[in-house]
Structure 1
């Protein structure tokens, strides 16, 4: 029986995919800080679905948690079924493998959409998927939303080009949806793609000398932004934070080493750093295609994209300085243009390989080139597999003694934060908020006051400097530390290996000189009774939520003030008072969701009509 060409191609792709996921079959996962974050977030998602109660504030996590407005919401929406069905560590593995599949087979499909040729698509898919710019973010950085966004770049870019080439409402709709999904998956990856797509649009307008084609491209961008409104508008407009001076007091303590906690991959003393290498073979083929393939409009789009992305990646002539808001969107780095560079290079490489095969009137050059790309880039798979924990999946990389210590904390009543100097994804085990990570998921919080303070406290803690009073104010009640390191605090629990110390200067979530009683937490509310002989300031240690919270004393709304660093405060009068904090969806969110919903309805109507 004769084997069909398509069967050979799909067989090669399946083989590449199997080779790429083999490292994920071992126990444990890479021990990077981002994986720790994603494991905790997966647990939060699981808890929400288990209770079937959805809220942006999780009351059993100290200080609340911005559940809905994660920095990269689309990733968690797409992967939520995995989070619900499996434990957080298996979630990390399955989500990564699924993203691998999107990157490899999605790029293959994207190239087929552009060129309608499976051999071109095979070369493109292998070149894009095997490049270290993709693999790094999977197994070294562990930044899964960024990984998924990188995987979606070929689909979003290809469908945009196709929408410009064809007079099809369906292509316009699909392109807009893909760009919106990419935008909400990772803004810093998406913005460069939007810019390069705009370059495609300018070229298409020049080619057709028709403003109608320009209008079609602008329409795609507008639809993508409007579809993202429910996430984008709050992201841009809700930035109301306190700005209070930081405490200068430092209290000395013995040096505490960060056992088990590693912020990067190490192997034999070597530290693997970010790599955007995508192969000399791919680069050479792309340059050949850039110079010699002509009279092909689709290839010309890719040439424009390749040159533009190279200029922006290296920020030649400081072009990025002239694009409004770009520095914020890219978190100050032009390196996010690498996905656009590799996409255009891989597509050009695939087309060049096909052209060489046609010139020689032989099929083998295509498969020889595929083999060369694989051989050149394969070491990346092996190199990036270093640094795995080697522990059983159910234990993550946490030894049983550490899990026992966290279980002790889980049994303690009340609402408080924990400072664990060791271990990974501790929130999964003790069901409290881990100090230093309450900013995670808050799009406006990175580089803001709380983030900077927590980061500096972490750095001080590892150098043996800690301020119990400051940590107590910030809600830390327990320190989890290896027993060989002693601190001057009350020992609350020990199993010989791990010690739990109590911070006796801990201040509760509701911090006031008044007598506080009858505290009740709900998914959208917090109520308590206050009794005092004089008016007092009461601090409610919930971060980031001022635009959504309303405060009521005895049924009358009162103004919410800000307390250091980004907490909420109200003035409670003398006497007995009933205080209620209510978390309410504000007008901005209602309008944002309405815009998204209306865009979907009008889009469906437009396509059907």
Structure 2
């Protein structure tokens, strides 16, 4: 039986995919920078479904923060079924494998749409998938939304080019949807893609000398932004909502100054940092295609994109300084243009490989080039050898003794915060509010003052400085510390390796001279009964986020004041009172969702018409 060429191509792709995911089949998980964040968020998604209570507010870290503010929603929406069905750590592995599939087979499909040639698509897909840029984020960084965005770049870019080339409403709609999905998956990856797509648009306008084609490209951008409105508008318009007006003095006072903590992967004294260089074979083919392939309109788009992305990646002539809001979107780094560089280079490499095979009238160069690029697979697989935890997957990188200590805390009644000096994603195991050291390095995940305080407390703790009164005020009741590090606190639990100490200066999460009873915490609410002989203040150890947090006493709304560092407080009248704090959706969010849904409805109507 004769084997078809397409069967060989699909066989090679499947082989690449299997080889790349094999390390993920074993027990354990790689040591990464960002996995802890995504594990915690996956656990929160699971809790929402378990309680059938879907909240914008995530209460377990840093004193709480809106789930999608300054973070990207699409990854968690796409992967929510995985989060519901599996434990958070297994979720990390499955989500990574799924992203591998999107990167490899999605890029293959994208190239096939552009060139209608499976051999070109195969070379392109392998070149993009095996780039160290992609593998770094999979094996070292662990930034899953960014990894998925990188995987989506070829699809979003290819369909935009195709929409410019064809007079098709369907292609316009698909392109806009893909750009919107990319935008809501990771803004810092998406913005460079938008800019390079705009370069494609300028080239297409020059080529056709027709403003109508320019209008089509602008329409795609507008639809993509409107589809993203449900996330984008609150992100832009509520960016200062975590801050109280600077009008009155806070209850309490700051203690320590800020210092910084750096994250990275260490092995044998070496510090591993990202590599933005991809396979030399891919780069060589891309340059050959850039210089010698002519009279191909699609390739010309890619040439424009490749040159533009190189210029912007290295910020030649300081071009980025002239693009409004770009510094904020890219967190001050032009390195995010590397995804666009790799995409255009991989596409050019695929086309060049095909051209060489036609010139030589032989197909073997295609498969020889595929073999050369496959060599890039080795560094990717080898990355697992220095950063893999060889224990039960659900333990993450946490030793069993540490999980036992957290289990002790889980059994303790009441609401309080935990100070875990070691371990990752501790809130998954003890189900209490973690003080936040594990989240240091994520300043966009919380208000500035809270981040500053947590950061400085951590730095002082590493120097042997600990203020029980301060930490007690912040709601910390237990310290989880390796037993070889002694602290002057009451020992509550030990298993010989990990000790749990009680902070006897702990103050309740609802701190008041009034008698507090009937306390009930929800994901986005808090209710309790207060009883006192006189009017008194109540400090609520939850971060403020205006105007979403509302306070009600006996059904009547009351003003929320500020308590240090960024907690909430209210004045409770004498007598017995029912108090409710509720995180509520505001008009802006309703309007934002309306814009998104209206765009979807009008888009469907336009296509069907």
TM-score w.r.t. length of structure 1: 0.93
Give the Cα–Cα distance (whole angstroms) in 2 for the partners of residues 499 and 253 of structure 1.
Answer: 30
C-alpha deviation, 1:254, in angstroms: 23
Distance (whole Å) between structure 2 residues aligned to residue 121 and residue 65 of structure 1: 43
Report the alpha carbon displacement of residue 549 of structure 1 after superposing the two structures with TM.
1.5
Cross-structure match for 1:139 = 139
CA distance in 2, matches of 1:396, 1:268: 21
Of 504-513 and 596-605, deviating more is 504-513
2:479, 2:500 within 8 Å by CA — same for their partners in 1?
Answer: yes
Assess, with a 3 A threshold, how the Cα gap between structure 1 residues 139 and 396 changes in structure 2: closer, same or farther.
Answer: same
Q: Which moved more, 1:256-265 or 1:380-389?
A: 256-265
Provide, for residues 6-46 of structure 1, a one-character-per-residue CA deviation record: whole Å limited to 9, x for no partner.
11111111111111111112210012241122222211111
Change (3 A) 1:442 1:458: closer
Q: Hey, what's the Cα distance between the residues in 1 that align with 2:252 and 2:217?
A: 60
Q: Deviations over 1:471-530 (max 9, x none)?
A: 222221111011111011111111221110111222222223333233233344322233
| 1:392–1:255 Cα change, 3 Å | farther
For residues 256-291 of structure 1, give each alpha carbon's deviation from its aligned partner in whole angstroms, at most 9, with x where no partner exists. 999999943333433221111112211111111111
Please report how far the alpha carbon of residue 415 of structure 1 lies from its aligned counterpart in structure 2 after TM superposition: 1.3
1:275-319, Cα deviation, whole Å (9 max, x unpaired): 111122111111111111111111111111111111111111111
Say whether the 8 Å CA contact 1:96–1:144 is kept in structure 2: yes
> Following TM superposition, by how much is the alpha carbon of 1:455 offset from its aligned partner in structure 2, in angstroms?
2.1
**Contact 1:417 1:435 (8 Å CA) reproduced:** yes
Matched, 1:158 2:158: yes
> Using a 3 Å threshold, how does the CA distance of structure 1 residues 241 and 220 change in structure 2: closer, same or farther?
closer
Give a deviation string over 1:157-196, Cα, whole Å, max 9, x none.
Answer: 0000000110001001101110111111111111111111
Q: CA RMSD in A?
A: 3.8
Structure 1 range deviating more: 18-27 or 255-264: 255-264
Say which is worse superposed, 317-326 or 463-472, in terms of deviation: 463-472
Between the aligned partners of 1:572 and 1:257, the Cα distance in structure 2 is: 33
Q: How big is each residue's C-alpha offset from its partner over 1:103-141, in whole Å with a ceiling of 9 and x where there is no partner?
A: 011001000000001111111111110011101011101
**Post-superposition shift, 1:555?**
2.8
Q: Is this contact kept in 2: 1:249–1:467, CA < 8 A?
A: no
Query: Contact between 2:259 and 2:456, CA under 8 Å: does it hold in 1?
Result: no
In structure 2, relative to structure 1, the CA distance for the partners of 1:179 and 1:374 (3 Å cut) is: same
The answer to whether the Cα contact below 8 Å between 1:405 and 1:500 also exists between their aligned partners in 2 is: yes
Does residue 90 of structure 1 match 2:90? yes
When normalised by structure 2's length, the TM-score is 0.93
1:49 aligns with 2:49: yes
Change (3 A) 1:55 1:248: closer
- Partner Cα separation in structure 1 for residue 463 and residue 247 of structure 2: 18
Q: Is the 8 A contact 2:440 2:454 kept in 1?
A: no
Tell me if the contact between 1:492 and 1:502 (Cα under 8 Å) persists in the aligned partners.
Answer: yes
* Cα distance in structure 2, aligned partners of 1:438 and 1:560: 29
Partner residue in 2 for 1:583: 583
Residue 209 of structure 1: how far off its partner (Å): 0.9
Q: Separation in 1 of the partners of 2:250 and 2:272?
A: 34
Residue pair 1:254, 1:486 contacting (<8 A) in 2 also: no
Deviation, structure 1 residue 398: 2.3
Q: Note the alpha carbon deviations across 1:303-357, whole angstroms, 9 max, x for none.
A: 1111111111111111111111111111111111100000001001111111111
Instruction: Describe the shift of the 1:229–1:257 C-alpha distance in structure 2 as closer, same or farther (beyond 3 A).
Output: closer
Could you list the per-position Cα deviations for residues 343-398 of structure 1 after superposition, in whole angstroms to 9, with x for gaps in the alignment? 00100111111111111111111111111122245323313442101112133232
Aligned-partner Cα distance in 1 for 2:462–2:254: 9
Q: Which whole-Å deviations, capped at 9, do the CAs of 1:391-428 have from their partners, x for residues lacking one?
A: 12133232222111111100111111111112222112
**Structure 1 stretch 377-386 or stretch 420-429: which is displaced more?**
377-386
Q: Is the 8 A contact 1:30 1:388 kept in 2?
A: yes
Structure 1: gaps (5+ residues): none
Distance 2:445 2:23 in 1: 34
> Does the aligned pair in 2 maintain the 1:259–1:422 contact within 8 Å?
no
Gap change, CA 1:562 and 1:84, over 3 Å in 2:
same
Secondary structure in 2 aligned to 1:412? coil
Which stretch shows the higher mean deviation, 312-321 or 432-441? Answer: 432-441
Deviation of 1:64 (Å): 4.1
* Number of residue-to-residue matches in the alignment: 609
User: Structure 1, residues 35-64: CA drift from partner, whole Å, max 9, x if none?
Assistant: 122222211111211222212235687844
The answer for unaligned runs of 5 or more in structure 2 is none
Q: Is the 8 A contact 2:160 2:175 kept in 1?
A: yes
Which deviates the most, 488-497 or 305-314? Answer: 488-497
